[in-house]
Structure 1
Amino acid sequence: MIQIHNEIRPIRDEDTETLVNIWLEASRFAHGFLGEERLQLQSEQVRDIYLKQAENWVIIHDGKPAGFIGLVGQFIGGLFIDPHIHGKGLGRQLLVHALDLKKSLELEVYALNTQAHGFYLRNGFVEIARFAEDDEGLPFAVIHMRRDA
């Protein structure tokens, strides 16, 4: 299998709306259990807070932004790929890039998001803790994971 490497670059102001749309579509796919109202509210927080505060790296596929990883120090605040092009190795490329930069990464993933949990396990992350509630105190279990380079 030929591995295609896409350009990975820092976020630009003009990427914001595209990345918020990718975040929302990917979250509907992976976090539908949170409900549309909560996802809409969170998408505003992604636009107004998280994309501005995190160190964001954008992956370019077929000439346009196709996903991003947001880092806060060594913590992955989010990794989102356009769900229409899952399975092309874009998420893995972003992880490799982040590991090259940070040498060690941690993250939290919803236990109900079995696809993402499996993705992180396949990419060398190990579970270090589980919590019964998410950061907002909602009754959705989260798994804390870590990987060293």
Structure 2
Amino acid sequence: METIRIHEVKQPDRAPRLPALLQVWEASVRATHHFLSDAEVKQIREYVPQALTGVANLFVAESKTGVPVAFMGTEDGRLEMLFLSPDERGKGLGRQLLEYGIREQGVREVTVNEQNPQAVGFYEHMGFETYQRTACDEEGNPYPLLYMKLK
């Protein structure tokens, strides 16, 4: 496995990284969120920069050449986002990021799309359990959400 460097990116330093992080986000979503249409992915993509710049804590995993391959956002004990380039899935990077979030950021909760079974399985494997389900996402779209807490 290639050497990966994980570091926190403070809010003033996020803007120059947005294009590369958007690429990671879109590749990840297209590989895992099969329930979204192309138009929906493009529509959601418009809000990702705001989420990336607004989240309290942003951690980026970069390849040895400095290219972002994954990122995680946390705030107030919640995992707000975790996206990996498809090429990095299954190599332990998601686990590494989440374990760091649990250990160093106090992550105890996550919200996940029910229609993303790979993510649901990952979080269950990492010790999270569902405590609430909604029929729609937070914008009222028909995408059920699972609210999960660390056991």
Same fold (TM over 0.5): yes
SS in 1 for 2:108: strand
Alignment gaps of 5+ in structure 1: none
Residue deviations 1:86-126 (CA, integer Å, cap 9, x gap): 11111011101111223342111111100000000111111
Q: CA contact under 8 A between 2:131 and 2:148: conserved in structure 1? A: yes
- Alpha-carbon distance between aligned partners in 1 of 2:81 and 2:26, rounded to the nearest angstrom: 12
Aligned equivalent of 1:46: 48
Deviation at 1:74, TM superposition (A): 1.3
Q: Distance in 2 between matches of 1:74 and 1:37?
A: 32
Letter in 1 for 2:80: G
User: Residue 17 in 1 paired to residue 19 in 2?
Assistant: yes
- C-alpha change, 1:5 and 1:96, in structure 2 (3 Å) is farther
Q: How far apart are 1:4 and its partner, in Å?
A: 8.1
For 1:39 and 1:109, the matched residues in 2 are separated by 16
**Which residue of the partner structure matches residue 146 of structure 2?**
143
Over 3 Å counting, the alpha-carbon distance change for 1:4 and 1:21 in structure 2 is: closer
Q: Between the two proteins, what is the percent identity of the paired residues?
A: 30
Contact 1:5 1:93 in 2 (8 A): no
Aligned length: 145
- Contact 2:2/2:63 (<8 A) preserved: no
RMSD: 1.8
Find the counterpart in structure 1 of residue 36 from structure 2: 34
TM-score (norm 2): 0.87
2:131 aligned partner, one-letter code: I
Are the equivalent residues in 2 in contact too, given 1:130–1:143 (CA < 8 A)?
A: yes
Distance 2:91 2:62 in 1: 12
